């Protein structure tokens, strides 16, 4: 047995020795006498996922080459050859003809080595005054900036879908809940617009993050900068950044922008999971408040009668992935010394996963919002339960100069009478109400019932009809929604 294992190890070692002789010399391999083993290469490569940064990497190289030529660090003719070669490589990648090589480790080395194969000596000048440390940070900031723009556009689309849904359901009253117990009547429009407000804060957080990440690390090199006469402001401007990062050590080691980005995504995911939970509940037989169309529902493999709101269940579920991606990054960055550490290679996949999940969640939530119907008759029949007008009745007594705590007690006793009689507050006679408090008068019936209750809400931001109409008008204007929609 032992001799068999030793033989296998010997054969593997010989195979690795042969393969290493065939491998391309690393661009950083000048001081090394032997190449890395296959196991190390497989473990340390990142090309399998960071090739997603190819467009940003080429964009950064174009800006860097142009700056080097402007500063006289390379010839203008070399710059032109480099730019032409980068254009060709980008086309090959987008056509699917580019060969990504694991032995070239990452997206940066793959593109640089391919450029060298393509144009020769001029390509070797491209990495002047640049390190993979500042290069990857620049690429990643550019990628995250584009991702934020995509997510914000999806947020706006979902907001518009919710506003249109609200507009279609004007006047529909639903039970409002606290502690998942019936509390007060609210207009459905008001509830839907609450999610629009949350999503607006989500977009605001992302845009704030975008502002903070939009500073350029390029030219910070490995960590200390360079003694060559580069112009970091030129490359920063060319790439659409606000300015170069002030501190070269911070430039290559900072991942605050990633943490903030994933934190913003996580809050958005939590909001979407709450929307998903509410709609899954409302689609149940117990509630029956909404019906999703067949186009956004799934069935059961064993129960033929089932119609499941699966997309919103998955929205609720995928929020766990987004939160998990944030936790991964927080733990990854904890305790890292300055400046760049290879640990930071692990920051890409959680970000890619978070963005993919959140974009999908936003898109399917909008799709679901466009394909549901609220069951007004079922909702109307359900409204009497829970004495939703009790607080409005307390307000009535306050207007009669009764202290609120006393009003609260009077209404509580009125509800207790209703429970014993199995009726609603509006079903109590005036004599029955006066047996509890002589303050009650005939005008009390203008405050009872969910419709009258809604009419009495008037504070700014409340669920009163005029207030909600004003909120709806604001969002239709803000989101530029056609009023004939």
- Please give the positions annotated as active site: 179, 300
Tokens of residue 243, six digits: 């300015």
* CA nearest to 262, candidates 207, 334, 326: 326
Q: How far apart are CA 268 and CA 156, in angstroms?
A: 13
Question: ω before 339 within 30° of 0 (cis)?
Answer: yes
Q: Are 110 and 51 in contact (CB under 8 A)?
A: yes
Q: How far apart are CA 215 and CA 142, in angstroms?
A: 10
Strands 215-216 and 243-244: parallel
Tokens of residue 123, six digits: 């390509």
The total number of residues shown for the chain amounts to 485
Cβ neighbours for 170, distance < 8 A, ≥ 6 positions apart: 189
Secondary-structure percent of the chain, ordered helix, strand, coil, rounded to 5: 65, 5, 30
* CA nearest to 131, candidates 59, 255, 226: 226
Q: Are 173 and 392 in contact (CB under 8 A)?
A: no
Q: How far apart are CA 93 and CA 84, in angstroms?
A: 14
For residue 53, give the 3-state DSSP assignment: helix
Q: Are 49 and 352 in contact (CB under 8 A)?
A: yes
Q: How far apart are CA 325 and CA 269, in angstroms?
A: 12
Question: Residue holding tokens 């860097």?
Answer: 64
Q: Are 277 and 316 in contact (CB under 8 A)?
A: yes
For residue 336, what is the DSSP state? P
Q: How far apart are CA 135 and CA 59, in angstroms?
A: 11
């Amino acid at each position: 047995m032992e001799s068999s294992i030793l033989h296998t190890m010997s054969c593997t070692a010989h195979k690795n020795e042969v393969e290493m002789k065939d491998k391309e010399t690393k661009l950083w391999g000048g001081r090394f006498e032997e190449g890395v083993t296959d196991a190390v290469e497989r473990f340390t490569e990142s090309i399998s996922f960071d090739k997603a940064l190819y467009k940003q990497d080429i964009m950064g190289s174009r800006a860097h080459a142009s700056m080097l030529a402007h500063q006289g660090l390379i010839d203008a003719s070399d710059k032109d050859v480099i730019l032409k070669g980068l254009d060709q490589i980008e086309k090959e990648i987008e056509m699917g003809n580019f060969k990504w090589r694991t032995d070239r480790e990452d997206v940066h080395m793959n593109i640089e080595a391919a450029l060298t194969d393509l144009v020769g000596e001029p390509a070797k000048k491209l990495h002047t005054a640049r390190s993979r440390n500042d290069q990857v940070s620049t690429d990643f900031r550019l990628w995250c900036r584009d991702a934020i723009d995509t997510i914000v556009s999806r947020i706006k689309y979902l907001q518009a879908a919710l506003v249109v849904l609200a507009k279609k359901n004007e006047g529909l009253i639903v039970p409002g809940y606290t502690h998942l117990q019936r509390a007060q009547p609210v207009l459905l429009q008001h509830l839907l617009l609450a999610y629009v407000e949350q999503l607006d804060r989500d977009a605001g957080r992302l845009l704030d993050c975008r502002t903070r990440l939009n500073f350029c690390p390029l030219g910070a090199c490995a960590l200390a900068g360079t003694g060559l006469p580069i112009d970091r402001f030129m490359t920063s401007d060319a790439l659409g950044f606000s300015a170069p990062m002030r501190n070269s050590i911070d430039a290559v080691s900072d991942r605050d922008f990633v943490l903030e980005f994933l934190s913003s995504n996580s809050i958005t995911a939590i909001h979407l999971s709450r929307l998903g939970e509410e709609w899954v509940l409302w689609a149940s037989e117990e509630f029956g408040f909404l019906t999703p169309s067949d186009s956004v529902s799934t069935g059961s493999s064993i129960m033929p009668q089932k119609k499941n709101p699966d997309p919103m269940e998955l929205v609720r579920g995928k929020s766990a992935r987004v939160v998990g991606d944030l936790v991964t990054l927080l733990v990854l960055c904890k305790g890292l010394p300055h400046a760049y550490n290879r640990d930071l290679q692990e920051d890409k996949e959680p970000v890619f996963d978070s963005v993919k999940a959140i974009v999908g969640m936003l898109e399917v939530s909008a799709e679901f919002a466009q394909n549901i119907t609220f069951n007004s008759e079922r909702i109307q029949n359900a409204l009497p339960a829970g004495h939703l007008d009790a607080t409005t009745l307390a307000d009535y007594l306050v207007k009669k100069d009764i202290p609120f705590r006393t009003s609260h007690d009077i209404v509580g006793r009125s509800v207790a009478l209703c429970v014993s009689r199995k009726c609603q507050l509006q079903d109590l006679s005036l004599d029955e109400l006066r047996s509890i408090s002589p303050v009650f008068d005939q005008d009390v019936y203008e405050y009872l019932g969910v419709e009258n209750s809604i009419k009495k809400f008037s504070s700014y931001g409340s669920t009163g009809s005029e207030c909600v109409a004003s909120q709806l008008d604001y969002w239709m204007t803000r989101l530029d929604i056609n009023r004939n929609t």
